[in-house]
Amino acid sequence: MGGDILSFLAGTVALAAIYAIYTLGFNLQFGYTDLANMGYVAFFTIGAYVSVILNYSPPGPMDAYRFGFNLPIWVGVIVAAPGAALFAFLTGLPTLKIKAEYFIAVTFAFAEIVRMVVQNETWLTNGNFGFYGLSRPFKQFFSPYTYEFFFAFLMVGILIIAYLIMRRICNSPFGRVLKGIRENDMACQSLGKDVFRAKLKSYTIGAAFAGVAGSLYALYATTIVPEMFVPSVTFVAWWAVIMGGKGNNKGAILGAFIFIFVDQFTVFTQSSAAYATRLSSLRGFIMGVMLILILRFLPRGVLKEKKVIYDSKI
Amino acid sequence: MNFSILLQHITYGIVTGSILLLATIGFSMVYTIKGFFNIAHAELLTAGAYLTFLFYRIMGWNFIYSAILAIILTIIIGLLIGKTLYEPMEKYGSLGLVFTSIGVAFAMNGVTEFIAGPIIKSYRMPPTKTISVAGIPLVGKREVLIVVIALLSSYFLHFLLTRTRIGKAFRAMASNTNLAMIRGINTTKITNFVWMYASAMAGLAGIMLAMITALTTDLGWRQILVILAASILGGLGSIYGAMVGCILLGIVMDVGVIIIPTAYRPTIAFAVIIIMLIIKPTGIFGGK
């Protein structure tokens, strides 16, 4: 039983690390640039599917899907980033100029279209059947039990790399421009900054993080089906950023960990199958209430954004 | 032959549009007064549908009484949520309100699912005879009833907006809240009226949707983007525009399935959102 809890914990840490990478990208879009993206899950979906299609074995005569390239796992994980980013670039071009609240509606609609396509274009995504039995990296070197721990360490390692990259981006002059846009885009424009271009960059880079997270999620779950990419996955990113603290990368990671731990705790405490669905519906209730309370009483999140005063001489 | 299929699809579209109309009026009214997309509005549809199920199927009451009681309860739920959860958030601006409404949607959906369970339910109403026009079978009596109720309630709203004090005050508040307040209009009263009216219409829409389809816990959630699309098509913040937008979207969605695969039916609504907001965010009738 003790070992059970430990391996469950390792799985939870791995999942939380993946969602933390996912949330980091969202924090760049929403926390730093104020792009209220309601369709963030679309990038996650695209990342997952791109990596799996690259990695999956070629279709046999009985299979409905047409593409499977049998490439190494790392190729999929790396290509997932530009794959998601390309979609962000193409959708960002027409949508980033419109009003903030319209942007919410448009991105929501885009994500639903992506989900519809994934569900129905069987030749590409194998439809509702999805892809299953996906291979996991370095599996052959470990026993199934120790592999869970290795996988958790691997995910946390990737999260640390992602965090360092994101910190570099946010502390760069480009990151300062993004903050400037968030605070006052008119003023930013008058200083000669290309606001639209910066927004597009932020949107695209954030999407790349979601794409990588999606490909890692496919490795974690070893199965992908369209139901895994419903709009409530966007809600995870929203929830984590608002909970952790808008515009604070550490807060985004903390928020994702809180979400996954609360979420997985309700899975682990399930006593019987009869209550499983009931408890899982309470999960939505708990998350919803927590979001409402945070917005109301702690609108800047658990970890507030640090106030930075830039030296005017540089 | 082809003509009769087209006619059938148009008729379905009008039925779809009528339900959508009831669902969208409230959404549009809240947007007009409060200026935010109330994502949780669709959950009121689910609430109304399930409360009716509770009284009608489980307690075995008369359907009409069950529906009326369910609508009254939906009004109370909507008003309470508006007063306790949305109004204190107004100081954080419309984005804060949208996020709160997402939280409310999740919480409400969780409660519904917790109480009702995930199994698909149905009112199990007796089948009605199909009405044929010139030999083409078109709709059942229930669908006709839905269209009639939608027409009556739109006319009622029109009457309310143009002929009554509260309607005039609503329009005043819609065009300029502060000015309305200065002129001595009781904006709190109008806001309460909006929460109540919006919830009542949502509850009614939910019951009707459940009457012609089945009860699932995501009954409302699946409608939210369509509601959004309809209100955008008619012009955000315009009640009359929303009415036309709903019928139009209903027809376009149901006629569209002749050309595109049925699985992509909701995509028409999403495409409407994207295209309208990028090209003409003021809606098809909106001016500058």
- pLDDT per position as a tens digit, A128-177: 888 988 888 888 888 888 888 999 999 999 999 999 999 999 999 999 89
Return the higher-pLDDT residue of B78 and B143: B78
Q: What angle do CA B268, B271, B276 make, to 5 degrees?
A: 125
- Between CA B61 and CA B68 the distance in angstroms is 11
Mean pLDDT, range A229-245, rounded to an integer: 91
Give me the pLDDT at residue A273, please.
Answer: 63
Mean pLDDT, range A83-97, rounded to an integer: 94
Instruction: Give A270's pLDDT tier (boundaries 50, 70, 90).
Output: low
Measure A283 CA to nearest chain B CA, in Å.
7
Give me the pLDDT at residue A102, please.
Answer: 87
Rama region for B184: left / alpha / beta (φ>0; ψ in -120 to 50; rest): left
Give me the pLDDT at residue A64, please.
Answer: 81
* A300 vs B contacts (CB less than 8 Å): none
Give me the pLDDT at residue B288, please.
Answer: 40
Asked if A238's CB is within 8 angstroms of B99's CB, the reply is yes
The answer, yes or no, to whether residue A8 has pLDDT greater than 50, is: yes
Q: What is the value of pTM for the model shown?
A: 0.90
- CA torsion through residues A164, A169, A175, A176, sign: positive
Which segment of A60-74, A174-188, B155-169, B192-206 scores lowest on mean pLDDT?
Answer: A60-74
Q: What whole-number percentage of chain A has pLDDT above 70?
A: 94
What does residue B137 show for φ and ψ, rounded to 5 degrees? -70, 125
* B229 vs A contacts (CB less than 8 Å): 109
Quick check: helix, strand or coil at residue B35? Answer: coil
Asked if A112's CB is within 8 angstroms of B266's CB, the reply is yes
Measure A46 CA to nearest chain B CA, in Å.
18
Find residue B19's DSSP bridge partners.
none
Mutate to test the interface with B, among A292, A294, A297 (most CBs of B within 10 A): A292
CATH class name, domain B2-279? mainly alpha
Q: Would you call B111 an interface residue with chain A, using a CB distance cutoff of 8 Å?
A: yes
Q: Would you call B93 an interface residue with chain A, using a CB distance cutoff of 8 Å?
A: no
* A106 vs B contacts (CB less than 8 Å): 273-274, 277-278
Of the candidates A104, A281, A295, the beta carbon closest to that of B37 is on: A104
Asked if B92's CB is within 8 angstroms of A299's CB, the reply is yes
Of the candidates A106, A286, A292, the beta carbon closest to that of B85 is on: A292
Asked if B117's CB is within 8 angstroms of A277's CB, the reply is yes
- Between CA B270 and CA A117 the distance in angstroms is 12
